[in-house]
Chains A and B, each alone.
Chain A
């Protein structure tokens, strides 16, 4: 359905979208809050124009300037950068980054070695479930472990999700802090030449990992069926390579090979064989105590682009920016409803601006919901900020 719209129409439609539908007011309030105590003007915005020209170090002082800039440049894509000590500009080499939301970027292309329904830019309801799991695991960790409250979840416009943490503590976190959080969340490591990408050691599982496993378990059967992780010879052989113990591997191979192709059944047999094997081989369990969990994580745990999280000045697509290829709006969603997102119900600029489109009504509603979700996060952020400033008396605690 993307194909039925003409990308060339974008340059005519974008000014209307920005003027009428883009939540400019909330957007500016969100950034202002995230900038505090620096003025809004110290935040870097960047535009990608129709001809792929990339404009960095733009900035706005208020909503009016944003509207003017939108109309003048008509960006195909809008990105948000960091907060500087001055108005950002290319020429200034003395500018220092003072703050930046803690961000996470999860993209389905990083799942290509496990997802079987789609590849690369493609995405469907089946593989969206990976995003649902990712969202739940990361959100829970940010909220429960790190105590963050102002967490914004945004659909990236095509095949992934972004997360923005605006709590003061997160915004002003230094880079060792960011990278420690990224490492804390990152369980899958290793490249093409490593088959087993998760190693949880032999001690107790850390509380956060156990919690993540519980979340994955809720979806695991579904995913086994959807993705058929073990159903073809090829997938089975990829799976077998993860198993470190040769004897066990051969046992499993023998059994699974002769079984019906159902991944769920094969998985259950694998678990049985593993458990029996460990009962008989006390030494084996020491080497692969958490093998089941490790494999589940390898197949389902969030695959973060940790460099985005670690970096301070990585530009990230703004909420409500349009994806130039799909025309889809980067909607804000509530993490608890991530499951309910239907990709073809995500509003596009074409359907929103075309009264005659059959999806128009539905998309209008979804757009309104998305804006409302955005508002809720921003209002709550404003509240926490006000409290915090009151508590610490103006700007005495700042930078």
Chain B
């Protein structure tokens, strides 16, 4: 499992061979990827898969959806769509074995991303368990939604050859099959014989007839065989990966990224805050706790009394996420904007947008603050100053800005170096350390996470009032703790 990270993509695999490498939407990830990818793609793929896995966790634990039910699958798909993860929607909706370029690219991303997360999640037993549970859920969900015609192909590709038992043998044990199989109408099903230890989940729950060491399963139950194999394979691979971490982690950029991943943002959307932050404290907060992207938006607003749409959106949602109420937010924007325009104009043209952000207008959706991925990949046009400063600034501008803030030269050049190499989030992490005089090396994935980590560090420094009423009934629970919940992978059942 060696990832060669290059700044510029020097992909060796070409589409012609992609179809051989990736014949099917559903993979068992037996062979690690060998191609070279850019660090940027590495990061993106990792975060996108993390989003997917966390969505799975959310579906069962926070939404309380029954595993693999229609509602469950619908939820996953709609979340993936919301996050713009089209290729995962494609892979999860109806696995097949198409051969379009988009099919192949989706599988390639799926493949690489899976292996990147192995590296991030092989570190401790808890992480391994979490990861295995999620990947198994994903696998099962995709197997269940697979197109019928793709099923045979899947078995063939993975060398899963089983022959069904004869009608005679079946009729000998038909009573037992009827008693002990979890399905109705077994008369019309073909049955297969597998060793009992290949379907332990069915054995454990007495949902299969076993005789002489063999379990008799219909086609439908093959998912048990596959998940058992896949689980064993994952367990072993993660154990091996954890032993080889040192070799992989010789590259500091990857260390930083991988370590950050599992504790990083991607699932929490910060759309509701537990505290109320008064706008009077924003000036001081922007110095102490805002990530650079927000700090520069704040400064720009104070300076120019105006922000363009992209900036208002990025900053406005961030403010909502840290706990600025709608009323305060309206006041905040109004105060600034009316320094250069009539109040009428503000109310007509801008107030709507503020309320919109809070889900009070338009589709009334409770919008989430943008994460780094989105911010970094945003287009920033002329006259706009949103986006990620590490990505969307020239080195000299960045350096000057940091100098202006009074940081020491060595720290500044560390940050600027990382940004130059394209490691924006690592640069952001170094900036975090610069501001706080620490060397934590946090993995940053979300501006609001930056803010919260900062607040944790300086607890008590600012005045925070507990929020009095929960406004939105679709309140999101803090999801950063998700991975602390004890998921028992053994409990996975159809």
A residues engaging B (CB < 8 A)? 144-148, 169, 173, 176-177, 179-181, 183-184, 204-210
CB-based contact A204/B178 at 8 Å: yes
Q: Contacts of A146 on B, CB cut-off 8 Å? A: 196, 210, 212-213
Interface string of B191-227 (1 = CB under 8 A from A): 0000011001101111001111110000000000000
CB-based contact B179/A206 at 8 Å: yes
Smallest Cβ distance from A212 to chain B, in angstroms? Answer: 11
Q: Which residue of B lies closest to A145 (CB)?
A: B210
CA–CA, A177 to B195, complex, Å? Answer: 11
CB-based contact A147/B213 at 8 Å: yes
Q: Contacts of A177 on B, CB cut-off 8 Å? A: 197, 200
B82 in the interface, Cβ–Cβ < 8 Å?
A: no
B17 in the interface, Cβ–Cβ < 8 Å?
A: no
CB-based contact B213/A169 at 8 Å: yes
Which among A148, A179, A205 is the interface contact of B204 at CB below 8 angstroms? Answer: A179
CB-based contact A173/B214 at 8 Å: no
Q: Contacts of B196 on A, CB cut-off 8 Å? A: 145-146
CA–CA, A208 to B176, complex, Å? Answer: 9
CA–CA, A209 to B203, complex, Å? Answer: 13
B180 in the interface, Cβ–Cβ < 8 Å?
A: yes
CB-based contact B197/A145 at 8 Å: no
Which among B175, B200, B201, B206 is the interface contact of A209 at CB below 8 angstroms? Answer: B206
Main secondary structure of the interface of B (DSSP, over half): helix
Smallest Cβ distance from B491 to chain A, in angstroms? Answer: 12
CB-based contact A204/B179 at 8 Å: yes
Q: Contacts of A145 on B, CB cut-off 8 Å? A: 196, 210-213
B residues engaging A (CB < 8 A)? 175-176, 178-180, 196-197, 200-201, 203-206, 209-214, 490
CB-based contact B211/A180 at 8 Å: no
Which among B204, B212, B214 is the interface contact of A184 at CB below 8 angstroms? Answer: B204
CA–CA, A207 to B490, complex, Å? Answer: 23
New A-B contacts (7) at CB < 8 Å, excluding given A169-B213, A180-B200: A146-B213, A147-B211, A176-B490, A184-B206, A205-B179, A207-B176, A207-B180
Which among A148, A173, A205, A207 is the interface contact of B197 at CB below 8 angstroms? Answer: A173
CB-based contact A210/B179 at 8 Å: yes
CB-based contact B180/A183 at 8 Å: no
Q: Contacts of A179 on B, CB cut-off 8 Å? A: 204
Q: Contacts of B212 on A, CB cut-off 8 Å? A: 144-147
Q: Which residue of B lies closest to A143 (CB)?
A: B212
Main secondary structure of the interface of A (DSSP, over half): helix
Q: Contacts of B180 on A, CB cut-off 8 Å? A: 204, 206-208
Per CB-CB distance, the 8 closest pairs between chain A and chain B, nearest first, are A147-B213, A147-B212, A180-B200, A180-B204, A183-B204, A206-B206, A207-B176, A204-B179
CA–CA, A172 to B266, complex, Å? Answer: 41
CA–CA, A387 to B196, complex, Å? Answer: 22
Smallest Cβ distance from A18 to chain B, in angstroms? Answer: 37
Smallest Cβ distance from B165 to chain A, in angstroms? Answer: 16
Smallest Cβ distance from B342 to chain A, in angstroms? Answer: 71
CB-based contact B178/A208 at 8 Å: no
Q: Contacts of A181 on B, CB cut-off 8 Å? A: 203
Smallest Cβ distance from B218 to chain A, in angstroms? Answer: 16
CA–CA, A184 to B213, complex, Å? Answer: 13
Question: Can you list 16 contacts pairing A with B, beta carbon distance less than 8 Å?
Answer: A145-B211, A145-B212, A147-B212, A147-B213, A180-B200, A180-B204, A183-B203, A183-B204, A204-B178, A204-B179, A206-B179, A206-B180, A206-B206, A207-B209, A209-B206, A210-B179
CA–CA, A3 to B100, complex, Å? Answer: 85
Q: Contacts of B200 on A, CB cut-off 8 Å? A: 176-177, 180
Q: Contacts of B179 on A, CB cut-off 8 Å? A: 204-207, 210
CA–CA, A147 to B175, complex, Å? Answer: 19
Q: Which residue of A lies closest to B196 (CB)?
A: A146
Q: Contacts of B205 on A, CB cut-off 8 Å? A: 183
CB-based contact A184/B203 at 8 Å: yes
Q: Which residue of A lies closest to B202 (CB)?
A: A180
CB-based contact A144/B211 at 8 Å: yes
CA–CA, A181 to B180, complex, Å? Answer: 16
Q: Contacts of B201 on A, CB cut-off 8 Å? A: 180
CA–CA, A21 to B210, complex, Å? Answer: 41
Q: Contacts of A180 on B, CB cut-off 8 Å? A: 197, 200-201, 203-204
CA–CA, A177 to B175, complex, Å? Answer: 26
CA–CA, A209 to B197, complex, Å? Answer: 20
Q: Contacts of A169 on B, CB cut-off 8 Å? A: 197, 213
Which has the most chain A C-beta neighbours within 10 Å: B196, B201, B211, B490?
B196
Q: Which residue of A lies closest to B178 (CB)?
A: A204
Q: Which residue of B lies closest to A181 (CB)?
A: B203
Smallest Cβ distance from B490 to chain A, in angstroms? Answer: 7
Q: Which residue of A lies closest to B490 (CB)?
A: A176
Q: Which residue of A lies closest to B182 (CB)?
A: A203
Q: Which residue of B lies closest to A144 (CB)?
A: B211
Q: Contacts of B210 on A, CB cut-off 8 Å? A: 145-146, 208
Q: Which residue of A lies closest to B231 (CB)?
A: A176
Smallest Cβ distance from B182 to chain A, in angstroms? Answer: 8
Q: Which residue of B lies closest to A169 (CB)?
A: B213
Q: Contacts of A144 on B, CB cut-off 8 Å? A: 211-212
CA–CA, A20 to B148, complex, Å? Answer: 69
Q: Which residue of A lies closest to B199 (CB)?
A: A180
Which among B175, B206, B490 is the interface contact of A208 at CB below 8 angstroms? Answer: B206
Smallest Cβ distance from B481 to chain A, in angstroms? Answer: 27
If A205-B179, A206-B179, A207-B180 touch, does A147 touch B214 (CB 8 Å cutoff)?
Answer: yes
CA–CA, A148 to B206, complex, Å? Answer: 18
Q: Which residue of A lies closest to B213 (CB)?
A: A147
CA–CA, A117 to B205, complex, Å? Answer: 34
Q: Contacts of A209 on B, CB cut-off 8 Å? A: 206
Q: Which residue of B lies closest to A184 (CB)?
A: B203
Q: Which residue of A lies closest to B195 (CB)?
A: A169
CA–CA, A179 to B203, complex, Å? Answer: 10
Smallest Cβ distance from B235 to chain A, in angstroms? Answer: 10
Q: Contacts of A176 on B, CB cut-off 8 Å? A: 200, 490
Smallest Cβ distance from A234 to chain B, in angstroms? Answer: 33
Q: Contacts of B490 on A, CB cut-off 8 Å? A: 176
CA–CA, A208 to B178, complex, Å? Answer: 13
Smallest Cβ distance from A206 to chain B, in angstroms? Answer: 4
CA–CA, A103 to B337, complex, Å? Answer: 77
Q: Which residue of A lies closest to B197 (CB)?
A: A177
CA–CA, A139 to B209, complex, Å? Answer: 17
Q: Contacts of A204 on B, CB cut-off 8 Å? A: 178-180
Smallest Cβ distance from B233 to chain A, in angstroms? Answer: 14
Q: Contacts of B203 on A, CB cut-off 8 Å? A: 180-181, 183-184
CA–CA, A144 to B203, complex, Å? Answer: 14
Q: Contacts of A206 on B, CB cut-off 8 Å? A: 179-180, 206, 209
Smallest Cβ distance from A137 to chain B, in angstroms? Answer: 14
Q: Which residue of A lies closest to B176 (CB)?
A: A207
Smallest Cβ distance from B217 to chain A, in angstroms? Answer: 14
Smallest Cβ distance from B375 to chain A, in angstroms? Answer: 43
CA–CA, A204 to B177, complex, Å? Answer: 11
CA–CA, A176 to B228, complex, Å? Answer: 10
CA–CA, A181 to B205, complex, Å? Answer: 10
